[in-house]
Amino acid sequence: MTNSNEKVRWGFIGAGYIAKLALYPAILKSEVGEIYAVASKDAEKAKALSPSGKIYTDYESLLADPQVEAIYISLPNSLHIEWSIKAMQAGKHVLCEKPLAMNADEARKAIEVSKQTGMLFMEASWNRWHPRTIRMKEVVSSGAIGEVKSIRSAFTYDGLDPANIRAIHELGGGGLYDLGPYSVAAPLWLMDFAPTSDIKTEVKWHPGGCDETVKTTFKIGSATAETLTSMNTESVLYFEVTGTKGSVKMGGNDAFNSHNKPSTLELDIEGVKTTENFAACDPYQIMSDHFADKIRGRDAWLMPLSETLKFAEFFDAIFKVMGRP
C-alpha cells in the first residue's frame, strides 16, 4: 500500500520541447512528485529527462510498469486521446497536454473512460493555476468592474518552422489548437461559461493545411469577446476586460506565458488606477503538485473535465464557422 507521504511516481510519454521546458523542471523541484521513467521513440531524449535513467522506447512498456502511478502526455495533439485512454485503462492517472482532444466527441469518450476506471484525468492548462490568473477571475467575479462589456485576448508568436508539428494538419496542428486553450478559452471560464453566440472568424491558412492566424469575435453573456491566435506574426499577448465600472488587464506582454518571472495586473476602477504585483512562480509545478496531491487524497483544485468539454464544444463551433479543411 502506498504511503500518503510518498512522492507520486510520474511516467512521461513524450520527451519533446514542452516536456523539457515545462514539466521536467517543475517535477524536479516538487516535494510531492518525482519523475520515475520516461518513454520516447528517441532514447537519447528520454535519457535527458529521466533523473533515474529509467527509460522505455515504446509507450506500452511504460504503461505496463506497475511502479508508474501518473502519466504526463506531451505527444502531438492528434495522439492525446489515444494514449490518454490507454493509460487510464492501464490504471494510470493522466495529465495530458492541451488541447486534450481534437473535438468534443473525443473528449466525451475519454471522460467516460475516466469515470469507468476511476482514474484522474486532466488537461494541462497550467495558466489557470497562476496566482495572477486566479486574481483576475476574482476581480471580475466580485463585480468590481461592473457588468462585463468587452473582453480582448491574444496569444501570438513569430517564426514557425514549416516542419514543426504545430504546422501539420494531420497531427492536430494549427494556432487555434496550440494557443486557443489559453486566449480563446479565457473568456469562457472568466464568464462562468455563459451562453455564446454570433461567432465570426477571420482566418489565414497555413500551407500545411491548418489555421495559421485566427481572429474570432463572439457574444458571451453580457460581453463581446475578441480573441486572436497566430503562429506567424509578431509575439503579442494580452488579456483585457472592460466593464461598466472600470477595467482590469494583465500587464506586460505575457498574459498567457508568465513562467518563473514577476507579473502584474492593472486595475482601473471608477477612475482609480492601481497595479498589483505577483512574484515569479512556476504554474506548471503548482498544477502538477495539485494533481499529485489529489492522487494522494489531499485537498487540491483540478480543472474540471466539464470545463475541458465546454472548451472542446466551443472550438468545434469555431472550426465549423471557419470551414476547417
DSSP string, 55-109: EESSHHHHHH-TT--EEEE-S-GGGHHHHHHHHHHTT-EEEEPSSS-SSHHHHHH
What is the pLDDT averaged over residues 40-56? Answer: 97
What is the model's pLDDT at position 76? 95
Does residue 1 register a pLDDT over 60? no
What is the pLDDT averaged over residues 13-17? Answer: 95
Does residue 159 register a pLDDT over 80? no
What is the pLDDT averaged over residues 270-276? Answer: 97
Nearest to 88 by CA among 64, 120, 59, 42: 120
Q: Are strands 237-243 and 223-230 parallel, antiparallel or unpaired?
A: unpaired
What is the model's pLDDT at position 325? 59
pLDDT digit string, tens, across residues 171-221: 999 999 999 999 999 999 999 999 999 999 999 998 888 999 999 999 999
What is the pLDDT averaged over residues 308-319? Answer: 98
- Average pLDDT in the chain: 96
What residue ranges define each of the domains in the chain, with the CATH number in brackets? Answer: 8-126+286-302 (3.40.50.720), 131-280 (3.30.360.10)
Cell, residue 271: 477612475
Residues 296 and 302: beta-carbon distance below 8 Å: no
What is the model's pLDDT at position 2? 67
Q: Measure CA 50 to chain center.
A: 23
Residues 2 and 39: beta-carbon distance below 8 Å: no
Does residue 148 register a pLDDT over 60? yes
Residues 78 and 102: beta-carbon distance below 8 Å: yes
The whole-angstrom separation of Cα 275 and Cα 238 is: 16
The model carries a pTM of 0.96
The whole-angstrom separation of Cα 225 and Cα 218 is: 5
pLDDT grade for 160, boundaries at 50, 70 and 90: confident
Which position has the grid cell 514549416? Answer: 162
The whole-angstrom separation of Cα 153 and Cα 255 is: 8
Does residue 103 register a pLDDT over 80? yes
What is the pLDDT averaged over residues 277-290? Answer: 98
